[in-house]
């Protein structure tokens, strides 16, 4: 009997969830919510050759039903007439949406660099409602197994029962299979920068790409992030102009690289672009930029000397080395942000309460 490789991951993108699940054999996938079927299909055809399935569902439908079923039918022989199907698997999952009337409890895990045990231990320490996977999940994406690290951690940390936001890190762009990653995660029409709208929360996911110039010899001409960041800036301007952020009581941005933070050469790239990103986030009233990448823990308030542009929001840098893995727990209530940076052993590395304006 064909089985799912991991529990599904429910990625939050715009006003949808993109439910992604991997199977051991190729076949057709769909999701059922409240008697409605949502298909993994394209151009009028079910997708039957892949072991990766993506089903987009309206956020409101899953938030209301609070449960879904992932379904999969193995394709034995897709003959032109009367195709032969294998087993059908149907697995039901409970789902807990965010509650707009309660504090938002976020767990941020980044810079796992291929390790699973530390991040999963952090997920068991405290309750949370939203998992943000903040990038550099595998050390590089050279094999299928590297791409599966994200799904393994999400599977063990939330078991398909909570929303997940994935923000790509620079290491996620490295290796032979890296170009396949955007096809396996929540994206806005293939773009790895997007908004997410959850009850009481408006979020922006920004992708800073690599941490050095495209001309860096390490990349051997494989990157074109300078163009990508310019396109992303135009998109960010359009998000600001659309104004969907205006009514959200909590507004956050997520970016693997803390682009507000002063960097040393050769990492001191794109200062003009990053200054513009900060300006746009200021204008949208974003309160927190949630980042990792540095393998350090920082709380950078406006005016901090480590900032290199006029960010009026707080930059939270919550990652350590993969060996000394630290999870960042952020609880945002109407009056304050409660922050705990906790080592996977449970030891608290930093704890702070920051009042909201």
Which residues of this chain interact with Fe ion, rule CB under 5 A?
136, 169-170, 293
Smallest distance, Fe ion to C-beta of residue 187, A:
19
Which of residues 66 and 262 has its CB atom nearest to Fe ion in the complex? Answer: 262
Which of residues 136 and 270 has its CB atom nearest to Fe ion in the complex? Answer: 136
Q: What's the CA gap between 3 and 48, in Å, rounded?
A: 15
Angle at 299 between CA 259 and CA 280, to 5 degrees: 40
Which of residues 103 and 169 has its CB atom nearest to Fe ion in the complex? Answer: 169
With CB atoms as reference, the residue minimizing the distance to Fe ion is 293
Which of residues 167 and 170 has its CB atom nearest to Fe ion in the complex? Answer: 170
- Evaluate whether 208 touches 170 at the Cβ level (below 8 Å): yes
What's the 3-state SS for the chain? CCCECCCCEEEEEECEEEEEEEECCCEEEEEEECCEEEECEECCEECCCCCEEEEEEEHHHHHHHCEEEEEEEEEEECCCCCCEEEEEEEEEEECCCCCCCCCEEEEEECCCCCCCHHHHHHHCCCCCCEEEECCCCCCCCCCHHHHHHHHHHHHHHHCCCCEEEECCCCHHHCCCCHHHHHHHCCCECCECCEEEEECCEEEEEECCCCCCCCCCHHHCCCCCHHHHHHHHHHHHHHHHHHCCCCCCCEEEEEECCCCCECCCCCCCCCHHHHHHHHHHHHHCCCCEEEECCCCCEEEECCCCCCECCCCCCEEEEECCCCCCCEEEEEEECCCEEEEEEEECCCCEEEEEEEECC
- Cα 341 to Cα 83, 109, 155, distances in angstroms: 53, 11, 22
Q: What's the CA gap between 143 and 207, in Å, rounded?
A: 22
Smallest distance, Fe ion to C-beta of residue 264, A:
15
Which of residues 7 and 212 has its CB atom nearest to Fe ion in the complex? Answer: 212
Which of residues 74 and 207 has its CB atom nearest to Fe ion in the complex? Answer: 207
Smallest distance, Fe ion to C-beta of residue 295, A:
8
Smallest distance, Fe ion to C-beta of residue 54, A:
26
Smallest distance, Fe ion to C-beta of residue 169, A:
5
Which of residues 163 and 169 has its CB atom nearest to Fe ion in the complex? Answer: 169
Which of residues 32 and 111 has its CB atom nearest to Fe ion in the complex? Answer: 111
Smallest distance, Fe ion to C-beta of residue 110, A:
8
Which of residues 12 and 170 has its CB atom nearest to Fe ion in the complex? Answer: 170
């Amino acid at each position: 009997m064909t089985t799912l490789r991991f529990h599904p991951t429910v990625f939050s993108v715009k006003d949808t969830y993109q439910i992604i699940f991997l199977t051991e054999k190729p076949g057709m996938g769909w999701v059922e919510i409240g008697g409605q079927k949502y298909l993994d299909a394209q151009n009028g055809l079910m997708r039957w050759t892949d072991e990766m399935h993506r089903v987009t569902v309206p956020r409101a439908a899953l938030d209301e039903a609070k449960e879904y079923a992932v379904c999969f039918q193995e394709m034995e022989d897709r003959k032109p007439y009367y195709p032969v199907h294998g087993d059908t698997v149907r697995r039901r999952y409970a789902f807990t949406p965010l509650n707009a009337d309660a504090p938002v409890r976020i767990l941020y895990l980044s810079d796992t660099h291929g390790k699973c045990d530390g991040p999963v231990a952090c997920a068991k320490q405290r309750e949370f409602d939203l998992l943000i996977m903040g990038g550099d999940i595998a050390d590089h994406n050279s094999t299928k197994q590297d791409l599966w690290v994200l799904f393994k951690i999400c599977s063990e940390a939330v078991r398909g029962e909570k929303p997940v936001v994935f923000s790509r890190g620079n290491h996620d762009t490295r290796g032979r299979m890296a170009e396949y990653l955007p096809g396996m995660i929540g994206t806005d029409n293939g773009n790895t920068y997007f908004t997410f709208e959850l009850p009481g929360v408006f979020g922006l996911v920004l992708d800073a790409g690599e941490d050095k110039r495209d001309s860096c010899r390490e990349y051997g001409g494989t990157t074109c992030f300078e163009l990508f960041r310019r396109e992303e800036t135009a998109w960010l301007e359009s998000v600001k102009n659309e104004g969907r952020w205006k009514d959200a009581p909590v507004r956050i941005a997520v970016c693997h690289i803390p682009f507000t933070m002063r960097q040393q050469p050769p990492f001191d790239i794109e200062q003009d672009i990053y200054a513009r990103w900060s300006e746009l986030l200021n204008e949208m009233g974003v309160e927190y930029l949630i980042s990792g990448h540095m393998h350090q823990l920082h709380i950078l308030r406006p005016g901090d000397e480590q900032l290199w542009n006029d960010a009026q929001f707080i930059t939270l840098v919550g990652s350590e080395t993969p060996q000394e893995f630290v999870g960042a727990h952020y609880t945002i209530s109407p009056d304050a942000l409660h922050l705990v940076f906790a080592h996977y052993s449970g030891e608290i590395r930093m704890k702070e309460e920051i009042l909201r304006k």
